[in-house]
Amino acid sequence: MTARESVRPFDEIPRMSTLALLRMLLQSGGGRIDMRSGLEDLYREKGPVVVQGAGPLRFVNLFGPDTNRYVLLDRDQLFSSRRPWMQIMGRIFPNGLLLRDGDEHKHHRKIMHEAFRRPILCDYAERMNPRIAEGLAGWRERGGRLRAFEAFKELTLDIAASIFVGVELGPGTRRMNRAFEDMVAASMSRVRLPIPGLEFSRGLEGRAFMKDFLAGLLSARRSARGADIFSRLCRARTEEGETLRDDDVIDHMIFLMMAAHDTTTSTLTSMTYELGRHPAWQEQLREESRALGCAEPDFDSLDRLTSLGLVMRETLRRYPPLPVIPRVALRDFEWDGYRIRAGAMVVISPIHTHHMSAWWGDPDRFDPERFAPARAEHERHTHSWVPFGGGPHMCLGKRFAEAQIRLVMHQMLLRFRWSLAPGYEMPVQQAPISKPTDGLPLELTALD
């Protein structure tokens, strides 16, 4: 039998029955609460290639770091990022960078890259520090108790408004936060009709609010020399002199602001939880921050916070902000002995890969040292750790997000010590973004 004859057809791929899928969705809160367990069950029972769903709603789960590398690098241009994300969030976040393919994606990414070059990141860090200090000072006034997720979300949105848009929100923070919460929730809605009062309708209203807000600032940003990302995108040009249209700037800004403050909030909250569970690590990071000798470090100083970097990476492993990454196959292709049809939605799963015992020692244990040079478990495979995706669609704001997380956590460690209630375990909702369903209640002690 030739290698070609040994490739099995799509219809022979192991599949999950419709009844089993419904049971899994019910047990996992519609796929939002505990996505990881269902994926691990699929992998254990069916193998590395599994079809889910029925009729036209079928999609193919591909498991493992080899698959991550193949799909994310996409060297043969087999996959569309736009098509699945348009189905998921196209009416809420149309034309964000994630929702573009091919030459159009390259064109827009090249222009937007100008707003994330290293000298500009250094400027962003300098401008973020006082915003962080002001926000954390307000935490003292709330007393010793606080819900971390809501507090981080308010802080990161204030930072996003200042650094991304160049405005001070003040009382408007709550309204904009609600708009983004409604938009993100709507991206997971099953009833996608503009029925007033329902989740999807609220998401559309949130988008309309953000579009009007940014459109009202656009003319001034086009003519100004502001240092915020909005202004930089308005005047950014390729080497050929090409710029972005007004609608493109607005679409990119809405998506960037959502991605920047939601994913950062997710990671900061999960880090805070793990440091509350592991006070020895919290103290180690605090001593490291004190040794830095600077409450508001510059961008270049952040690499000296090595233990903080280890904890951040381990947190991103355990709680990837984006648990799964979808693509649509543009042509038939072969993987692991099966032929995958053109048009199939292909799903890779960072949350599953990040917990595979073949690549991670004791994967359910919080163990930042696994990322230290002596062990470097993340280097066992180029794509076993993919919290920011990879390939052409690698998160453009990766370095910005990492800097913001370190800056916030550094100042928080210097200002507070925190703890959790005895026996507390954070209830996590894994999709559409990892977050605690109870907001993560903390007991804060101010450090003088």
Distance CA 145, CA 386 (A): 34
Q: What is the CATH number of the domain that holds 178?
A: 1.10.630.10
Cβ 97 vs Cβ 396: under 8 Å? yes
Token pair recorded at residue 182 = 């409604």
Of 355, 375, 405, the one marking the end of a domain is: 355
Residues 112 and 133 grouped into a single domain = yes
Which of these three, 336, 355, 374, is where a domain ends? 355
270 lies in the same domain as 243: yes
* pLDDT at 166 (0 to 100): 84
Residues 105 and 45 both lie in one domain:
no
Residues 184 and 64 in one domain: no
Residues 101, 84 share a domain = no
Q: How far is CA 216 from CA 28, 160, 259, 406, in A?
A: 42, 17, 22, 33
Q: Are residues 222 and 349 in the same domain?
A: no
Do 90 and 10 fall into the same domain?
yes
Exposed/middle/buried for residue 279 (C-beta within 10 Å: 0-12, 13-18, 19+):
middle
What type of residue is 309?
G
Residue 84 domain boundaries: 1-94+323-355
Is residue 286 domain-shared with residue 163, that is, in the same domain? yes
Q: Is the separation of the CB atoms in 136 and 152 below 8 Å? A: no
Residue 147 lies in a domain: yes
Q: What is the CATH number of the domain that holds 15?
A: 3.30.43.20
53 located within any domain? yes
pTM exceeding the 0.75 threshold for the entire prediction: yes
Q: Is residue 37 part of a domain?
A: yes
Who's near 295: CB < 8 A, 6+ residues apart? 133, 411, 414
Strand order in the sheet with 145-147: 145-147, 441-446, 416-419
Residue 375 lies inside a defined structural domain of this protein? no
**Is 364 a member of any domain?**
no
Per-residue pLDDT of the chain (448 residues; tens, 9 = 90+): 344 558 999 999 998 766 666 665 555 445 567 789 889 989 999 999 999 875 556 789 999 999 999 999 999 999 999 999 998 888 999 888 999 999 999 999 988 888 899 999 999 999 999 999 999 999 987 778 899 999 999 899 888 888 888 887 766 677 887 888 888 888 877 788 888 888 899 999 999 999 999 999 998 888 878 888 888 888 877 667 777 889 999 999 999 888 878 889 999 999 999 999 999 999 999 999 999 999 999 999 999 999 999 999 999 999 998 899 999 999 999 999 999 999 999 999 999 999 999 999 999 999 999 999 999 999 999 999 999 999 999 999 999 999 999 999 999 999 999 999 999 999 998 877 889 999 999 999 999 7
What total of structural domains would you count in the chain? Answer: 2
Q: Are residues 219 and 118 in the same domain?
A: yes
Task: Clarify whether residues 409 and 419 are in a common domain.
Answer: yes
Q: Using DSSP bridges, classify how beta strands 441-446 and 416-419 pair: parallel, antiparallel or unpaired.
A: antiparallel
Among the candidates 309, 331, 355, a domain finishes at 355
Per the domain annotation, does 301 fall within a domain? Answer: no
Residues 108, 83 share a domain: no
Residue 33 located in a structural domain: yes
Residue 218's φ and ψ, nearest 5 degrees, are: -60, -45
Q: Are residues 128 and 77 in the same domain?
A: no
Do β-strands 333-335 and 49-52 pair in parallel, antiparallel, or remain unpaired?
unpaired
Q: Is residue 84 situated within a structural domain?
A: yes
